[in-house]
Amino acid sequence: QKEVEQDPGPLSVPEGAIVSLNCTYSNSAFQYFMWYRQYSRKGPELLMYTYSSGNKEDGRFTAQVDKSSKYISLFIRDSQPSDSATYLCASQFSGNTGKLIFGQGTTLQVKP
Amino acid sequence: DVKVTQSSRYLVKRTGEKVFLECVQDMDHENMFWYRQDPGLGLRLIYFSYDVKMKEKGDIPEGYSVSREKKERFSLILESASTNQTSMYLCASRDTPGHKNTEAFFGQGTRLTVV
């Protein structure tokens, strides 16, 4: 079993839809949770991160962590064609090596 | 502007060749990583280094080795390339998190094809 599981999709939605992307993780020692966005033929870039449980909002994006159910979510409101990308969730132990464990990534297409 | 630079965007190598993938970062980060990315499998950690000359195996180190002689440079070596090593390879660097998370910065990737 992978430590971080993510449905690879693909997911296709119309412009303006609310998008929900989800991951589950198995290791309760994970403390940091991140979402990376990767455009085609580019490296991933950090979109959002949260520490422990709770919500974090940044514009149209909301990241949510529920440690009791080991569930990580990313919500995109008013989705735009420019949001079309692969979204990768990642988790990390609290420690010094900075080793990130990634999910499989979900490919999202937002159609105009 | 922070930068992680991988030496090649595309490489084609023959089975059995020794292949070097180079990665350079200009942010003075302690931690550097090599991942491979395959459809449906996401990013899988091959090796990482938390200091010069220090390295640790990731989840899939077989068939690979690494070298970190200088802080800014982290090399991935395929000792004898095989077709199942055809993949996208991504290098990343990151400052030591401590008690706060820090962002991992990725290079643009090297698409390696082994024929």
Q: Which of helix, strand or coil describes residue A94?
A: coil
pLDDT in tens, chain A (112 residues): 678 999 878 999 999 999 999 999 998 888 889 999 999 989 999 999 888 788 999 999 999 999 899 999 999 999 999 999 999 999 987 665 667 889 999 999 999 9
Q: Which residue has the tokens 């091959």?
A: B46
B100 pLDDT higher than 60: no
Which residue in chain B has the smallest CA separation from A102?
A: B43
Contact yes or no for A46 and B42 at CB 8 A: no
pLDDT of residue A96: 55
Percent of chain A residues topping a pLDDT of 90: 70
Query: How far apart (Å, rounded) are the C-alpha atoms in residues A27 and B36?
Result: 22
Residue B98 is predicted with a pLDDT of 60
Find the CB nearest B42 among A46, A95, A103.
Answer: A103
A interface test, pick of B94, B99, B101 with most A CB neighbours within 10 Å = B101
> Would the CB atoms of A104 and B33 count as touching at under 8 Å?
no
Mutate one of B5, B33, B37 to test the A interface: name it (highest A CB count within 10 A).
Answer: B37
The neighbouring-strand residues paired with B25 are B4
* Per-residue DSSP letter, A15: T
DSSP letter string, B10-58: EEEE-TT--EEEEEEESS--SEEEEEEEETTTEEEEEEEEEETTEEEE-
